[in-house]
């Protein structure tokens, strides 16, 4: 269990880079900011177990210690959300504790087959239980931190 993001990054340098972009299979997540961020490859790097669901990437916003959980997915948005929630739980249990209001979830899928109402329900449930904000975008997401 790490006490700070700096400690986590130092202990896992091979999984970390100074980057604001994650892309995989045509999906892209980008942070539009001049601030300092560290990208962490979570799947098959920070968390290597194949027995647990986990999201692809995390980003540390050094200015205020917000953390962005990012899943780049085909079309199964609900599985992508499960992967983000599972990663949050793993972090809470054994990686680093991040306060709920500092946790952001981002799903970038090739397409979102869910209705607008279903998407809104997922966002509201996430905000109630797991984090501050959940964004669900198709193909690419450019996020401007507030």
Which uninterrupted H or E stretch holds 136?
Answer: strand 133-138
Answer yes or no: is pLDDT of 94 > 90.
yes
Per-residue model confidence (pLDDT) at position 48: 95
- What is the spatial distance between Cα 33 and Cα 90, in angstroms, rounded to a whole number? 28
Report how far residue 85's alpha carbon sits from residue 79's, in angstroms, rounded to the nearest whole number. Answer: 10
pLDDT digits (tens, 9 = 90+) for 116-130: 899 999 999 999 999
Sign of CA dihedral 98, 125, 132, 34: positive
pLDDT single digits (tens) 18-29: 999 999 999 999
pLDDT at 115 exceeding the cut of 90: no
What mean pLDDT is predicted for residues 6-29?
A: 97
At residue 39 the predicted structure's pLDDT band, cuts being 50, 70 and 90, is very high
What pLDDT is recorded for position 112? 80
Rounded to the nearest 10 degrees, the angle between the axes of helix 77-90 and helix 116-129 is 10
């Amino acid at each position: 269990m790490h006490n700070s993001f700096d400690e986590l990054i130092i202990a896992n340098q091979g999984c970390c880079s100074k980057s604001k972009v994650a892309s995989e299979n045509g999906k892209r997540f980008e942070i539009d900011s001049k601030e300092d961020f560290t990208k962490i490859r979570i799947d098959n790097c920070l968390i290597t177990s194949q027995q647990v669901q986990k999201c692809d990437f995390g980003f540390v916003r050094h200015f205020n210690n917000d953390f962005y959980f990012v899943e780049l997915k085909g079309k199964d948005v609900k599985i992508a959300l499960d992967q983000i929630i599972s990663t949050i739980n793993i972090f809470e249990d054994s990686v680093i504790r991040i306060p709920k209001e500092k946790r952001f979830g981002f799903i970038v899928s090739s397409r979102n087959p869910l209705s607008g109402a279903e998407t809104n329900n997922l966002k509201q449930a996430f905000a109630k239980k797991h984090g501050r904000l959940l964004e669900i975008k198709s193909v690419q997401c450019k996020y401007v931190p507030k």
